[in-house]
Amino acid sequence: MLIAKVIVDVPTSQTNHSFDYLIPDHLTELVKEGVRVSVPFGPRKVMGFVIGIADQSEFNKLRPVDQVLDMTPVLTPELLELGKWLADQTVSFYIQAYQAMLPQVLKAKYKKEIESLTEDPLPYGLDKLFAGRAVIDFDEFVEREGNYRDLLKSIHEGIVQINYMVQSKETVKKVAFIEPDKELYLLEEALIDLPKNAQKQRVILEYFLNDPLPVQKSKLIQQCNTTASTIKALIDKGLLKSVEKKLYRNPYNDDSFERTTSLPLSSQQKQAITPIWQSIDENMNDVFLLHGVTGSGKTEVYLQAIEKVLEKGKEAIVLVPEIALTPQMVRRFKGRFGGDVAVLHSALSPGEKFDEWTRIHKKEVRVVVGARSAIFAPFENLGIIIIDEEHETSYKQEEQPRYHAREVAKYRGEFHHCPVVLGSATPLLESFARAKKGVYQLLEMPDRMNEQEMPPVEIVDMREELHQGNRSMFSRRLLEAVKLRIEKKEQVVLFLNRRGYSTFVMCRECGDVMKCPACDIALTFHKSSHQLKCHYCDFHIPMVRNCPTCESDQIRYFGTGTQKVEEALREAVPEARIVRMDVDTTRRKGAHEKLLNQFQEKKADILLGTQMIAKGLDFEDVTLVGVLAVDAMLNLPDFRSSEKTFQLLTQVSGRAGRHKLPGEVILQTYSKEHYAIELASQYNYEQFFLQEMQMRKNFHYPPYFFLTLINVSHPNQLKAMEVTKTISRLLYKHLSDSVTILGPTPSPIERINNRYRYQCMIKYRDEPDQRKVIRKILRHYYDEIQKNDLTIQVDFEPYQLM
Ligand SMILES: Nc1ncnc2c1ncn2[C@@H]1O[C@H](COP(=O)(O)OP(=O)(O)OP(=O)(O)O)[C@@H](O)[C@H]1O
Ligand SMILES: [Zn+2]
Ligand SMILES: [Zn+2]
């Protein structure tokens, strides 16, 4: 008997290896690499992934595989290997890595059913099992010992299919379709007999005479510009009928997208795309960094690169940050490639996601556009991977496995011998440094497509406002500009940094921010101890009363929520119609789109929002962009805070004047002289890069040094601190002498859900053994993690330092 090597769904360090199981005879043809099985594990049955088949085992008394959960493998051989690599890289369990690659529906134990797709009797033993029913439970099939071989054959012949019962209601969405109920010549006769005033009915009949296939009712209404009652009239006459049909839950109806064709490329686009085309042609595994200003036409470059890939019969993955995956963005890809595109977005329901994934798995599409996890699309013939806005932090997963989509993309690019394209107007510093060194190929697109200059940026010094007696959050200049736009019936985007976390201390008089002398990180105010603390090292001082620089008592901690700004704005500009977009107003499904539409249709003058409005949006009448509190972002306790500010300001400014009307940007800040602000206002990425690199070099940050963040949490504060201390000690002992261990120190957010959080950080240049050492440490705490409330999180090259 053959042996299956199975990774079981028991995520602990003691079970993080494959277990051997016998493959019973009746399952031999089904148990393959990449298939999920159910296996006995101790007293229970658990799910597992088959990662290999062997003909012998070094263990005796193997237990048999209990059930097969998939008729075809859900993980390709490439993804099985990738999973191992991913788990090693992120120090997570194999099972976590495999599950991260699959849609949720396949992670949970959803019920399955078998559906007959034919009216004819089913062949083999199946007909008896079905006993006249169209659908039976998969469990019933197993209990009555149905024949797997017959089932598999029938699936391949397309006469039965397996449905996952995601949510009983949702699984199969049925929709009303309209189709002719009479022979076409009878429809034609009816058309002639129609009274003259029945113009609306005429249109519908003509539609079907042209194309007699069933059509979705809603689509018919749209296409014929008609109403349900007109259709009903024709149904009542017996000319048409309504039938319920099953529909893939295709959340983006392909037909509603207007088809587009390739635009003739501009000369800078041509220059950028030529090496990419060449790389596609020659199956090269190049990594390109496409540095193009906002509005330079990067998306068109992506589209035409993909076109080339499809011509070669290969497939493409496009990653877009979650918040930029707007209907506008989807439209651009579906418009070009129509039904060949699957979209994977976290706002889809589990059932919808599963449908989209299934279309990829069945090779019904060749392009996938999606957020982070779309990088695992089970394509087997990849021709290109594109990551738009490559600097976005949402490409890093913030739970185990803590992978970065860029690294996975590079792995897959290497496997498939295909190019990887990273695109951004403000590349991550590390990426640009790599491009400068020649590790990536740099492609530059410095000009906007519409040949307009980038909108001018005006910096308003809020200290000056204060001196002039203006204590409100809006400068006089900004208010005046907003009012002018409303008068001219143009639109305004007002941008505020995300709400909540902002406890840095700043002098409103001179703009000085209290920083750690060793780490160059803004100190954080801790109410409980009334102290200012650094969150990288353990530097701390008592909270100050007066500004150490100018002695003023205007020193305070900072932070304003969008809601408060909205209230103040309504007061200041009562005539404005305001749409507010933040986590609170967009929580409900579809809310995001609704608010944007409201603004698009010019039912509002001002769009006020957080990060989520900074990207991808493209409105013709927006001529003013205001940024209210740059300082909150500039002073996050994060060594990337300057870079993030620069990126954000560039993105936000890119929202203005994208079309015919010229745009203008107003930045309000207390730190006018800060290089991130000054250089962002000049759109000078290159200079910013040089200056920021110098800072990184001086304070030993990436890309000169790397970081590993270890975060410990426990309900007992003392315990959390103790464990972090011990870990730091162990790291010192076992890592090379060249590392620096920062901390232990409380995390910037000290307590979440009544758990105390402490952290330490490894700063290193080259530490090949660190993963081994860290795994050992984690194993050392195994019992406590199991029994206790202790958690230890390890994040390599972290992006979230909270
Ligand atoms: N070759 C072309 N000919 C005509 N118009 C083009 C061409 N390429 C792009 N455009 C248009 O120029 C505008 C800007 O292009 P696009 O949105 O692709 O830029 P982008 O670099 O992706 O911008 P952002 O970074 O802001 O998203 C779009 O309206 C697009 O349709
Ligand atoms: Zn001061
Ligand atoms: Zn410090």
Q: Tell me: the pLDDT tens digits for 620-655?
A: 888 899 998 788 778 877 899 999 999 988 888 877
Give the C-alpha separation, 615 to 594, whole Å.
17
Q: Tell me: the pLDDT tens digits for 236-268?
A: 988 999 887 766 555 555 556 778 888 999 999
Among left, alpha and beta (phi > 0; psi -120 to 50; other), residue 734 is: alpha
Question: What's the mean pLDDT in 98-114?
Answer: 82
Give strand pairing partners of 282: none
User: For atom 30 of ligand 1, which residue has the closest CA?
Assistant: 297
Collect residues with CB below 5 Å from ion ligand 3. Answer: 516, 518-519, 534, 536-537, 539
Lowest mean pLDDT among 160-164, 168-172, 488-492, 544-548: 168-172
Reported confidence tier of residue 758, pLDDT bands at 50, 70, 90: very high
User: For atom 9 of ligand 1, which residue has the closest CA?
Assistant: 297
pLDDT for residue 616 is more than 60: no
Give the C-alpha separation, 132 to 731, whole Å.
66
What is the residue type of 694? Q
pLDDT for residue 168 is more than 50: no
8 Å CB contact between 799 and 702: no
Give the C-alpha separation, 117 to 463, whole Å.
72
The answer to whether 550 is annotated as binding is: yes
Ligand 1 pocket member 294 (CB < 6 A)? yes
For residue 670, the CA-to-ligand 2 centroid distance in Å is 11
Angle between helical axes of 685-698 and 429-437 (0-180°, round to 10): 100
Give strand pairing partners of 396: 404
For residue 324, which atom of ligand 1 is closest to its CA? 27
CB count within 10 Å of CB 540 equals: 16
Give the highest mean pLDDT range of 340-349, 498-507, 690-699. Answer: 690-699
pLDDT for residue 468 is more than 80: yes
- pLDDT for 688: 97
CATH architecture of 457-502+558-695: 3-Layer(aba) Sandwich (3.40)
- pLDDT for 169: 39
Question: What's the mean pLDDT in 738-752?
Answer: 84
- pLDDT for 250: 56
Residues contacting residue 466 through CB under 8 Å, at least 6 positions apart = 508, 509, 554
Reported confidence tier of residue 617, pLDDT bands at 50, 70, 90: low
* Angle in degrees, CA 393, 394, 399, rounded to 5: 105
- pLDDT for 565: 81
Give the C-alpha separation, 260 to 335, whole Å.
5
**Percent helix, percent strand, percent coil in the chain, to nearest 5:** 35, 25, 40
Domain ranges of the chain: 3-107, 111-165, 173-247, 254-445, 457-502+558-695, 706-796
User: For atom 24 of ligand 1, which residue has the closest CA?
Assistant: 294
Mean pLDDT over each residue of the chain, to the nearest integer: 87
Reported confidence tier of residue 204, pLDDT bands at 50, 70, 90: very high
- pLDDT for 559: 56
The ipTM is 0.94
Closest ligand (CA of 522): 3
For residue 299, which atom of ligand 1 is closest to its CA? 18
Among left, alpha and beta (phi > 0; psi -120 to 50; other), residue 497 is: beta
Reported confidence tier of residue 433, pLDDT bands at 50, 70, 90: very high
CATH number of 706-796: 3.30.70.360
Give the C-alpha separation, 765 to 569, whole Å.
49
Q: Tell me: the pLDDT tens digits for 677-731?
A: 999 999 999 999 999 999 999 999 999 999 999 999 998 999 999 999 999 999 9
Of the candidates 689, 113, 698, 255, the one whose C-alpha atom is nearest the C-alpha of residue 434 is: 689
The answer to whether 224 is annotated as binding is: no
Residue 67 token pair: 């059930």
The answer to whether 537 is annotated as binding is: yes
Q: In sequence order, what E strands does 470-554 have?
A: 491-495, 505-507, 524-526, 531-533, 540-542
Ligand 1 pocket member 301 (CB < 6 A)? no
Give the C-alpha separation, 227 to 233, whole Å.
10
Residue 510 token pair: 């001179």
Query: Top-level CATH class of 3-107?
Result: alpha beta
Residue 343 token pair: 């979209």
8 Å CB contact between 102 and 96: no
Angle between helical axes of 327-337 and 298-311 (0-180°, round to 10): 30
Place of tokens 């199946």: 126
Ligand 1 pocket member 297 (CB < 6 A)? yes
- pLDDT for 706: 93
User: How many whole angstroms from its chain centre is CA 739?
Assistant: 33
pLDDT: which is higher, 554 or 277: 277
Q: Tell me: the pLDDT tens digits for 565-608?
A: 888 899 999 999 999 887 677 767 677 778 888 888 889 999 99
Closest ligand (CA of 552): 2
Q: Tell me: the pLDDT tens digits for 59-74?
A: 988 999 998 888 889 9
Residues in the chain: 802
Question: What's the mean pLDDT in 156-167?
Answer: 75
- pLDDT for 558: 63
SS3 40: strand
Q: Tell me: the pLDDT tens digits for 281-323?
A: 999 999 999 999 988 999 999 999 999 999 999 999 999 988 7
Give strand pairing partners of 164: 112
Q: How many CA atoms lie within 13 A of 512 on its CB side?
A: 16
Question: What's the mean pLDDT in 199-219?
Answer: 86
Reported confidence tier of residue 325, pLDDT bands at 50, 70, 90: confident
pLDDT for residue 6 is more than 70: yes
Question: What's the mean pLDDT in 612-627?
Answer: 78
8 Å CB contact between 758 and 746: yes
- pLDDT for 170: 45
Give the highest mean pLDDT range of 124-133, 335-344, 646-655, 657-666. Answer: 335-344
CATH number of 254-445: 3.40.50.300
Angle between helical axes of 405-416 and 77-90 (0-180°, round to 10): 140
What is the residue type of 250? N
User: For atom 1 of ligand 1, which residue has the closest CA?
Assistant: 265
Ligand 1 pocket member 426 (CB < 6 A)? no
Ligand 1 pocket member 455 (CB < 6 A)? no
8 Å CB contact between 657 and 663: yes
pLDDT: which is higher, 531 or 87: 87
Place of tokens 């603004």: 599
For residue 761, the CA-to-ligand 3 centroid distance in Å is 11
Name the phi and psi angles at 384, rounded to 5.
-165, 150
What is the residue type of 460? V
CB count within 10 Å of CB 422 equals: 27
Closest ligand (CA of 299): 1
pLDDT: which is higher, 154 or 624: 624
- pLDDT for 259: 80
- pLDDT for 150: 83
Among left, alpha and beta (phi > 0; psi -120 to 50; other), residue 416 is: alpha
Lowest mean pLDDT among 243-247, 358-362, 797-801: 243-247
pLDDT for residue 499 is more than 50: no
Strand order of the β-sheet with 315-319 is: 341-344, 367-370, 315-319, 382-387, 420-424, 287-292, 441-445
Same fold, 254-445 and 457-502+558-695: yes
Ligand 1 pocket member 298 (CB < 6 A)? yes
Q: Tell me: the pLDDT tens digits for 518-568?
A: 777 788 777 767 888 887 777 888 988 888 888 888 887 665 567 778 888
